[in-house]
C-alpha cells in the first residue's frame, strides 16, 4: 500500500468558461460555463486518490453551499478531509477563462483559504509515517504561518 499523503492548501470552486473566441470588451460572449471543484491542494488529493493513494486534505472553506459540496465530493472520492469551516469568509472561488486554444486566464478570490489556522491542526495528521505536500499557494499570503507550522 502507498504511503499516506497529507495535502495542505487551497480549496476552491472553479467557475470555468470555455470561450469560443476572443472576449468582446463591453459586450457579451456566449460560452458554456460550469462549476467544478478546484484548488491546487484539492486537485492534488483528487489525483492521488484516483491512483489509490490514501490521502487527507487540510484546508479551509466557507460555511456555504460550495464548502458543503466540496466536502461531499471529497468523501465520495475516498478522501479524508480536515476542512476547517470559516464562518465569515466564503469558500475560495476562481473564475477560469479558457480560450479556444486551451490557454487559461484565472481570476482567483482566495476567500476562506487565507484564514487557514494551525491551531486547528490534528497532530496525528503529521505523523512521520505520512508524506506532507504543501500547496505553493498556501506559502503566500495570510495562510503562510499555518503552512510553515505544518512543515
**pLDDT for the residue numbered 78:** 93
Is residue 59 within 8 Å of residue 91, measured between CB atoms?
Answer: no
- In angstroms, the CA 79 to CA 21 distance is 37
**pLDDT for the residue numbered 141:** 85
Q: Mean pLDDT, consecutive 10-residue segments, the chain of 151 residues?
A: 88 96 90 94 95 95 96 93 95 96 95 93 83 93 92 90
**pLDDT for the residue numbered 92:** 97
**pLDDT for the residue numbered 2:** 72
Which domains can be identified in the chain, with CATH numbers?
A: 5-150 (3.40.1190.20)
**pLDDT for the residue numbered 143:** 93
**pLDDT for the residue numbered 3:** 83
Amino acid at each position: 500500500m502507498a504511503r499516506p499523503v497529507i495535502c495542505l492548501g487551497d480549496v476552491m470552486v472553479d467557475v470555468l468558461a470555455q470561450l469560443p473566441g476572443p472576449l468582446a470588451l463591453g459586450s457579451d460572449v456566449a460560452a458554456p460555463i460550469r462549476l467544478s471543484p478546484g484548488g491546487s491542494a484539492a486537485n492534488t488529493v483528487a489525483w492521488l486518490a484516483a491512483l489509490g493513494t490514501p490521502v487527507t486534505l487540510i484546508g479551509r472553506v466557507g460555511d456555504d453551499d460550495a464548502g458543503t459540496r466540496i466536502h461531499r465530493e471529497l468523501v465520495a472520492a475516498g478522501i479524508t478531509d480536515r476542512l476547517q469551516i470559516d464562518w465569515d469568509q466564503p469558500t475560495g472561488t476562481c473564475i477560469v477563462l479558457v480560450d479556444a486554444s486551451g490557454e487559461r486566464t484565472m481570476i482567483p478570490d482566495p476567500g476562506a483559504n487565507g484564514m487557514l489556522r494551525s491551531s486547528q491542526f490534528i497532530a496525528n495528521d503529521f505523523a512521520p509515517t505520512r508524506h506532507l505536500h504543501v500547496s505553493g499557494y498556501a506559502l503566500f499570503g495570510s495562510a503562510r504561518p499555518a503552512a510553515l507550522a505544518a512543515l
